Every structure is written in structure tokens, then in C-alpha cells.
């Protein structure tokens, strides 16, 4: 058993699991006050209590003995809205991101992951945001005329790691962390693939435009939304394909539906893009949103189910490489992080270790390829 016990590590594991002081105390038959004293360093648990805490939090007892400055600062995380997201939810998200970052560092130690390639941009107006989005497309070989086939794969190819929350309030649509390797963490409870793709493009905007800038306010969120729109619906292509919107009194929803399926973008985002680019006026924009609301399409739209889901592939592929080329690689990572399998599953999301999905994608021009590092 360990001789050292650092309370901030207990706080990290507890908040990762979304437990309150009282809930953890009840599990290990201790008071709320006692758990708090352990976290602030006022008391040190005996070996029996350390083992009980480890069991409750799905970590190894040595997890608490790692000297680490632990929690990533909130300023390093891009939340959609700090004001409307509960403090407890933000803390849990930061804890998840903190440990996920440690996991990312482990992968970088043993694997040749995709090179990190996120352009940096300083923006002061809408035109500069448009150019930043176009530059990303050009940098990543996507051009500025065609739809993004798979938004998840684009970001993973650029070096980001993406995972999904399974137990955090849907108030966090997505958030990203500015670390050595960009991390994007998203809650999968939304049913709309289009909204998920927009969320990811929004987080991409934060990574590109807002490094070192505290986000979550109206301005930075508006900038990230504009970037997402410009990235998914490039200006020139949009004006070419959606120009008919400016020529009709009413919006032709059948045509919008066809273009929604082609570009994999929500009708709400299409209408907003048309408004931002001056194809429709404020009245037409308002009436379009009223239509979507009256027809029950504010969260899930008609034809959303016709667009294939997109799931992270990079972590899953990393597991396969470790399993095939690095004996006991996954177990070594668990041992390094001092966490147990159930904790790990929660950390990386719903990832299967089988390779079938990757084998089906070997003919894709955007397939992610990497191998173990040569020693």
C-alpha cells in the first residue's frame, strides 16, 4: 500500500465519477466532512480506507500517491456557456478532460499518432473568420467546394483526440481543451448527427481562433458558430448552391432537405448561413425558424435519421495497434494511469476493441494510419 496520499488526486477521481462528498462518504462508511478533510490534506486515510476509496472510485490505491498538479484549469477549457452550465458539471468535465489528457500523453509515448496540424488564426471580424475556416479546409486538403464527408475523421486526421461523455448533463454539448494534443469531448445524447457535426466544427473554431483566450461569452461563442458555419458550408459553394433562397418569396423546404442531406448540415444552420451571407432578410429568417419550431424540428429534424452517425476512430485504432504490435500495451497504460478497466471504459467512451469498423474503412481516402514508435 502507498505511503503517500494526495488529496487533490482524491478530488480528481471523485469529480470524474460525478460523486458528491456525501455520496462517496456513504459508499465508504465515512462522513462528508471526513472526505473533505482528506481532499484538503487535513487528514490522511489508513490503508483500509485508501483501499475502500480506490474500490469506490474504480482506481488503484497508488492513484492517490501520484504527485501531480491534477485538474486542468477552467480557462484552458472551451465550454459553450459558463453561465448556464452548472459548476458541478463543469468540474466533472474538467476532471474527465484532465485524465483523458494523461491518456493522450501515454498514446503519444508509444504510438506515431497523426501529426498535430491545427492552423492558428487571429480574427477580428466576420471576413477574417471566413478566411480562417477556408484556410483550414485548404490546409487539410478538403478544398472549398465540397461537403465534409466525415467531420470526426477530419479532426482526428488533424491530430485531435475525440471521445464521448456518457454520464454528463446534455447541457454540455461539447467542449475542447487546449493541450499539447487538442482534445474534444462531446456528450452523445443528442440524436441529430448534423448537430454533432456542427458541435465539432464549433470546437475546431475554438482551437484555431481562441488559444489562450477564455471562451464561453457571447463574442467567442458567436465567432465559433460563424467558423463552424463557414467550415461546413464554404461561402462560395453556399452562394452557388443555395442562391435560390434569395430569389423566392417563400423558402422551398424540399430543396433545403435535399441540400441538407448532401452537406450533412441542419436546416436551421442552413437558414442561419443564408441570413449571415445576406441571401435572406430578417423577416424571412424569423419565419423560417418559426416553421422549424412549429413542425417540431428544433432539436431533431426531418431526415436526420438518413445521415449516418460518425464515431471516433483514432482511439479504437490505437487499441488495435497496441493489441497487435505492443504486447500488453493497453494494460500498461492502465497501470501507468493507475485506473481500473471500468474507469478506463468511462474515460474513452463506448469503444470496442474489435477492428471490424476499421477494416470496412480501408478504402477511404481519409483513413487514419499510424504505428508503434520504433525504439
At CA 29, angle to CA 25 and CA 34, rounded to 5? 50
Residue 76 has pLDDT above 80, yes or no: no
Residue 235 has pLDDT above 60, yes or no: yes
**Is 270 exposed, middle or buried, given 0-12, 13-18 or 19+ CB atoms closer than 10 A?**
buried
Give span(s): CATH 1.10.260.40, the chain: 1-70
CB atoms within 10 A of CB 296: 10
The gap from C-alpha 300 to its chain's centroid, in whole angstroms, comes to 20
N-to-C CA span, the chain: 33
The pLDDT tens digits of the residues spanning 266-284 come to: 999 999 999 999 999 999 9
The pLDDT tens digits of the residues spanning 286-323 come to: 999 999 999 999 989 999 999 999 988 898 888 888 87
Give the architecture (CATH level 2) of 1-70.
Orthogonal Bundle (1.10)
Q: Helix 267-276 to helix 282-294 angle, to the nearest 10 degrees? A: 170
Question: What's phi and psi for 169, nearest 5 deg?
Answer: -45, 140
Q: How many residues does the chain have?
A: 375
352: closest CA among 319, 327, 324, 325? 319
Element housing 296 (H / E) = none
The pLDDT confidence band at residue 3, using thresholds 50, 70 and 90, is low
Mean residue pLDDT of the chain comes to 86
Residue 371 has pLDDT above 70, yes or no: no
Spatial distance between the Cα atoms of 312 and 40, rounded to a whole number of angstroms: 37
Q: Helix 314-325 to helix 87-110 angle, to the nearest 10 degrees? A: 40
Amino acid at each position: 500500500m502507498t505511503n503517500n496520499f494526495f488529496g487533490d488526486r482524491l478530488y480528481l477521481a471523485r469529480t470524474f465519477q460525478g460523486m458528491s462528498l456525501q455520496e462517496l462518504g456513504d459508499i465508504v462508511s465515512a462522513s462528508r466532512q471526513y472526505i473533505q478533510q482528506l481532499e484538503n490534506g487535513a487528514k490522511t486515510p489508513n490503508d483500509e480506507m485508501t483501499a475502500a476509496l480506490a474500490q469506490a472510485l474504480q482506481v488503484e490505491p497508488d492513484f492517490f500517491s501520484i504527485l501531480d498538479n491534477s485538474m486542468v484549469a477552467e480557462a484552458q477549457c472551451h465550454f459553450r456557456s459558463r453561465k448556464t452550465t452548472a459548476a458541478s458539471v463543469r468540474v466533472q468535465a474538467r476532471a474527465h478532460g484532465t485524465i483523458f489528457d494523461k491518456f493522450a500523453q501515454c498514446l503519444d509515448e508509444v504510438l506515431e499518432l497523426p501529426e498535430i496540424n491545427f492552423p492558428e488564426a487571429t480574427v477580428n471580424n466576420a471576413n477574417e473568420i471566413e478566411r480562417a475556416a477556408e484556410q483550414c479546409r485548404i490546409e487539410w486538403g478538403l478544398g472549398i467546394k465540397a461537403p465534409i464527408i466525415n467531420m470526426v475523421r477530419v479532426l482526428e486526421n488533424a491530430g485531435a483526440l475525440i471521445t464521448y461523455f456518457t454520464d454528463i448533463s446534455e447541457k454540455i454539448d461539447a467542449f475542447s481543451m487546449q493541450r499539447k494534443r487538442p482534445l474534444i469531448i462531446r456528450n452523445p445524447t443528442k440524436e441529430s448527427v448534423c448537430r454533432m457535426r456542427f458541435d465539432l466544427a464549433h470546437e475546431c473554431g475554438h482551437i484555431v481562433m481562441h488559444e489562450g483566450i477564455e471562451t464561453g461569452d457571447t463574442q467567442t461563442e458567436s465567432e465559433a458558430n460563424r467558423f463552424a458555419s463557414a467550415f461546413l458550408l464554404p461561402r462560395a459553394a453556399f452562394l452557388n448552391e443555395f442562391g435560390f433562397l434569395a430569389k423566392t418569396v417563400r423558402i422551398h423546404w424540399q430543396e433545403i432537405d435535399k441540400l441538407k442531406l448532401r452537406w450533412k448540415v441542419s436546416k436551421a444552420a442552413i437558414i442561419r448561413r443564408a441570413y449571415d451571407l445576406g441571401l435572406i432578410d430578417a423577416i424571412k429568417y424569423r419565419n423560417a425558424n418559426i416553421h422549424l419550431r412549429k413542425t417540431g424540428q428544433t432539436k431533431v429534424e426531418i431526415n436526420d435519421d438518413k445521415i449516418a452517425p460518425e464515431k471516433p476512430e483514432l482511439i479504437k485504432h490505437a487499441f488495435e495497434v497496441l493489441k497487435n504490435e505492443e504486447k500488453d500495451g493497453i494494460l500498461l497504460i492502465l497501470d501507468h494511469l493507475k485506473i481500473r478497466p471500468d474507469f478506463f471504459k468511462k474515460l474513452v467512451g463506448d469503444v470496442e476493441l474489435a477492428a471490424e469498423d476499421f477494416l470496412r474503412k480501408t478504402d477511404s481516402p481519409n483513413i487514419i494510419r499510424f504505428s508503434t514508435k520504433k525504439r
